[in-house]
Amino acid sequence: MGNQTTVTEFFLLGFSDLPELQILHFVVFLLIYSASLVGNSLLILTVVQNQSLHSPMYFFLVNLSLSDVCLTTATVPKSMAISWTNSKLISFSGCVIQVFFVVTGAGAELTFLTVMAYDRYVAICRPLQYTIIMNWDACVHMMAASWISSIMNGIIHTANTFRLPFCTSSIKQFFCDIPQLLTMSCTDATANVILLLLEAVVLCSFCFFLILASYGFIFFTVFKIQSVNARSKAFSTCTPHLTVLCLFLSTTIFSYMRPRSMSSVAIDLLAAVLYSVLPPLLNPVIYSLRNKEIQMAMQKMLKKLFGFCLINFPVKRIQWIRI
């Protein structure tokens, strides 16, 4: 401990040291990041400008898109800069900011997916009371609680991580990730690990239980519907949310809960890309392709802005769903 020096900067892991592969990585991540920003921004703008989409489900969808933008912006631009400048350096404060926004964005995504599952439960299982239960005051309170809890969670984990002294400055990941930072600590990080595990058990299990309970009641209610057409309509309102939920949970579980035997530098990089890049990119695509109301609203908005539709969705024989 007498030879310990204060770490004031970190070095992130690049995807390659070959100039050709660095350029390829920059171009690929630039396309992914641009598509993610455009897709989420277009989805937000569509909901905001269309009065027919001013409902709780789309209100929470806008917040989900904001959390996606937060998550991908925290990681992708810095990785692109590394490939472009060939400088893997990130300042101590930059690493702190990156950890905070990654944790906050991921936490907000989980909480809003949970709230959206509850919204679908009320819409399908208690439709006559939907406007009473999911009134705008309740929606605003749930939105505020989700963001505040996610921000507080980000502050706690960021402060608890960077209170530790670090013996090395090399992070074996393309962004500042808490598990990687804990392995670099000069002191015992058991308390940090316990806090992470406690949060996973309490918060994640709580959200997972609410989602399972909501969809358990939804499936029970839908299967009692005699009409096949009505049953299909009810399921169609849940399909985008279920797809996004499965995508987020599968990538997160693969990133942080896979066996150590499956851990290597290449696999860790792939897992981090799946977790931090893939959901923000695909979420707006999933909702745009699987939700006919958003398809119609997006076509109208694009036609109004550009004079013609840039996206050709199959919109024939659309049956509007109001639950």
Q: With 80 as the cut, is the pLDDT of residue 307 above it?
A: no
Q: With 80 as the cut, is the pLDDT of residue 317 above it?
A: no
9-306 under CATH 1.10.1060.10, yes or no = no
Does residue 286 contact residue 240 with C-beta atoms inside 8 Å? yes
Give the pLDDT confidence of 89-106 residue by residue, as tens digits: 899 999 999 999 999 998
Out of 152-156, 213-217, 220-224, 265-269, least confident range: 265-269
Does residue 144 contact residue 111 with C-beta atoms inside 8 Å? no
**In whole numbers, what is the pLDDT of the chain averaged over residues?**
82
Give the pLDDT confidence of 178-190 residue by residue, as tens digits: 888 888 888 888 8
φ and ψ of 143, to 5 deg = -65, -45
Query: HEC profile for 175-241?
Result: CCCHHHHHHCECCCCHHHHHHHHHHHHHHHHHHHHHHHHHHHHHHHHHHCCCCHHHHHHHHHHHHHH
How large is the average pLDDT for residues 273-284? 84
- Stretch (H or E) spanning 9: strand 9-11
How large is the average pLDDT for residues 40-50? 88
